[in-house]
Chains A and B, each alone.
Chain A
């Protein structure tokens, strides 16, 4: 894998894309932009308005894109692999170039794959993220959370995003992949490089990625020479169509797990703490009765779903009266589907004991998030540990919360006043 590919690969999943050069949005129905400051600050009223008016919005930005806002349409597109391809799942100015791996495999299988290739690539990963496999990581996760809390305890104000939520998925995935404990700081620095600074010049990004590629290549070589009981060796031993995966495929999967598994769960934990900081009744109820978290996290995932995916239109055709053209983007907003009042009772309210909650936070159809069981466990344990340590907290400065920009939504600065 070339440095260019690695850079593109990581940029694909980065949540801090540079601002759109198109300027302010005139009307989100005909000119929407998910990097617009109004969207980044509070997207929910925008989607509610579009659902009433459109319900599929359009923009000429990014070379042409559509935004379905109802659960019905999001569900229909997620399940239509004839008209919509997953070849690229992050909206950008360009389209996958001639050097990008073609459909049905795509740049980062299986998230970028279409049937029939998709199923085989997905089956390799699923057992490592099954409920039973994830259950074995729960005690490790709890210890990790409590160690982080030990470090921030005693401070009057803590940044719950940067100093807590961020480190939990990083620590768990490092453990799963078999990154040695003494390499933790190196590894965290790599993650930081992957997730931050996409607005730096491409040459600089490539330069910064060289040590990551070098490290991961050596890491995989070492696992080839010295197999052990971790996900990296598991991937190296895995077979697809009777053949082992190439080291390049394993390298790609490792980067995918790093990039897709970290800022997503980080966002879910952060958004949930942001809510609890502002709703004393909900926070105290969950601190008193942590068993309720199993139900409550589903509501946090519905209301503050962090992940929006994308599709590319495969051929000119009409969808819900919209004249879609080949290579138009679809911004596939599971978060907007989760706020559709035609599908959810009191959709705009956060009801932590909502019993009927058929949300789509982890997607719909064959691309259901492979890591959903892991994400749920991390979210539940992270909130349980935080509430046990700090049953009382509030936003230190409501105007100083910074939200990520792009397709992954969550707080990136979340100062909480403790006590």
Chain B
């Protein structure tokens, strides 16, 4: 699994990095960004999905492994 953030949609609600601070961080304006390449370890997939499911702007995207 990989996570990405659509920077055009992100408005800095801060839900993603509150739920999964090992996968997401925030910049100086409070907008979210993905840490590293966005690869999600199997035991972090639940929180990665929650980060996507809680984003009010639908800016957090999940790419499941094929």
Contact = CB atoms under 8 A, between A and B. Distances in A.
Interface of A: 123, 126-127, 129-132, 294, 298, 355-360, 362, 364-366, 368, 372-373, 376
Most buried by A among B12, B14, B17, B18: B12
A356 B50 contact: yes
A46 to B, nearest CB: 24
Interface of B: 11-15, 17-18, 26-30, 50, 53-57
Contacts of A355: 50, 53
Given A126-B28, A364-B57, 4 more contacts: A298-B54, A358-B56, A365-B57, A368-B12
Contacts of A131: 14, 17, 26, 30
Contacts of A130: 26-30
Given A294-B18, A368-B11, A368-B12, A127 B28 contact: yes
A123 B29 contact: yes
A305 to B, nearest CB: 12
26 contacts: A126-B12, A126-B28, A127-B29, A129-B30, A130-B29, A130-B30, A131-B17, A131-B26, A132-B28, A294-B18, A298-B54, A356-B50, A357-B54, A358-B53, A358-B54, A358-B55, A360-B56, A362-B13, A364-B11, A364-B57, A365-B11, A368-B56, A372-B13, A372-B14, A373-B14, A373-B30
Nearest to A127: B28
A271 to B, nearest CB: 20
Given A131-B17, A131-B30, A359 B11 contact: no
A333 to B, nearest CB: 15
- Of B11, B13, B26, B50, the most chain A CB neighbours within 10 A belong to B13
A127 B28 CA distance: 5
Contacts, number: 52
Nearest to A123: B29
> Main SS of the interface on chain B?
loop
A356 B52 CA distance: 9
A376 B29 CA distance: 16
Given A131-B14, A368-B11, A372-B14, A359 B56 contact: yes
B5 to A, nearest CB: 15
Contacts of B55: 358
B50 A368 contact: no
Contacts of A357: 54
Nearest to B32: A131
A132 B12 CA distance: 13
A356 B53 contact: yes
A359 B54 CA distance: 8
A126 B11 CA distance: 11
A223 B50 CA distance: 44
